[in-house]
Amino acid sequence: MATAVSILPAQQLATLEDAYRRSVARKRLKAALATAIFCAALLIAAFGAEVNLRTLFTYFGNFVSYFDRILTLESGARVWTDFPEWFWGWQKWLKMLGETILISYVGTLTGAVFAFALNFFAAQNTSPGPWVRFVIRRLLEFARTVPGIVFALIFVIAFGLGPMAGVLAIAIHTTGALGKLFAEIVENADMKPVEGIRSTGASWLSCMRFAVLPQVSAGYASYALLRFEINVREASVMGFVGAGGIGQELVVAIRKFYYSDVSAILVTIIVTVFIIDISTGWLRGRLFGKETRR
């Protein structure tokens, strides 16, 4: 069977190819320019960050051997050969871990309650007035842009060392983060029920309670659970600045070179984070079946 691919005459082809080459060349030039600018920025950044490749090469062995060291017991054996020795402080660590989870739980719940109280004022469709909205939005933005650990540093000075500072720092950060997400859910809610309730002469509060809340509560719970997951990680480092939880033990172990303790605490943290991730994922699946995991 004979098929013929029709080929354009050379002259026509030449103009087409020319146009093609030109457009490709322009694209390539743009890409090359962007790459050059990016590389220049990287170079400047490398100077700014005092990057010293020689240090890295000299000490990179240390990084690898660090993991070798934290996986070795004092007796010289590998950690997994002697679990009781590796996890010698498990009672203390479990208690601290419990404290960490409690910090994130109390912080998340407090933050969620505040976010819940504020979000109707921050959402465009339910806010009583533009001024209230502006002020609340800036407030939430501030609360979520300043890192939680900075709040913790300040609260440790105001409230004293201990888990209370950690809880409050997490609560403030959570208020900011959840307030924004909650307000976005409210903005996506259907406004017809609100009109229905308002037409019966109800107050603003009743409108929120009976028209908006039933639509949004599932989304709220889902985001709050997600935040709890994130806050467990956050709470595990709050101890670095003295704000309670397992971070305190970890930072002591790292700074004082208790190598096998470092790996033991890290393993407990990672396992806990896994368990919390999986169980909140399961819980969210149970509660709000159709929503997919992030």
Partner 1 sequence: MSQLPKPDTAELRAKYPGVFERPASARLALPAMIAAAVGIFVYGLVDLDFSPTKLITGMSQLGWITMMMIPPNPGASFPLYMQALGETLSIALLGTTLAALFALPVSLLAARNVIPSNLIRFPVRRFLDSIRGVDTLIWALVWINVVGLGPFAGVLAIMVSDFGAFGKLFSEAIEAADRKQVEGIRASGGNALHEIRFGLLPQVLPVIAGQVLYFIESNTRSATIIGIVGAGGIGLQLAEQIRVLEWQKVSFLILMILIAVAAIDFISSKLRFAIIGQRAVV
- Integer Cα distance of 195 and 207 in angstroms: 8
* Among 170-178, 191-199, 204-212, 228-236, the segment contacting partner 1 (CB under 8 A): 228-236
Residue 212 lies near partner 1 (rule: CB under 8 A) = no
How far is it, in rounded angstroms, from Cα 293 to Cα 229? 13
E strands, 158-288, are none
The interface mask with partner 1, positions 26-55, x = CB under 8 A, is: ---------------xx-xxxxxxxxx--x
130 touches partner 1 (CB under 8 A) = no
Q: Measured between alpha carbons, how far is 253 from 267 in angstroms, rounded to an integer?
A: 13
For 153, the enclosing helix (H) or strand (E) is helix 148-159
The least CB distance from residue 145 to partner 1, in Å, is 6
From the CB of 59, what's the least distance to partner 1, in Å? 5
**What is each CA distance from 213 to 43, 75, 120, 219, 226, in whole angstroms?**
52, 60, 10, 10, 20
Question: Least CB distance from residue 39 to partner 1, whole Å?
Answer: 10
**What are the structure tokens assigned to 147, written together?**
């890192």
- In 3D space, the residue among 234, 224, 222 whose CA is nearest the CA of residue 104 turns out to be 234
The site string for partner 1 over 140-169 (x = CB under 8 A, - otherwise) reads --x--xxx-xx--xxx-xxxx-xxx--x--
- The CA distance from 284 to 294, in Å, is 11
Alpha carbon separation from 28 to 21, 23, 25, 33, 34 (Å, rounded): 10, 9, 5, 8, 10
Min separation Cβ 8 and partner 1, Å: 21
Using CB under 8 A as the binding rule, whether residue 250 contacts partner 1 is answered as yes
Cα–Cα distance measured from residue 104 to residue 142, given in angstroms and rounded to the nearest whole number: 20
129 vs 294, which CB is nearer to partner 1? 294
Site for partner 1 in 65-84 (CB under 8 A): 66
Binding mask 86-125 for partner 1 (x = CB under 8 A): -------------x--xx-xx--x----------------
How many of the chain's residues bind partner 1 (CB under 8 A)?
57
Which residues of the chain form contacts with partner 1 (CB under 8 A)? 41-42, 44-52, 55-56, 59-60, 62-63, 66, 99, 102-103, 105-106, 109, 142, 145-147, 149-150, 153-155, 157-160, 162-164, 167, 233-234, 236-237, 240-241, 244, 250-251, 254-255, 266, 269-270, 273-274
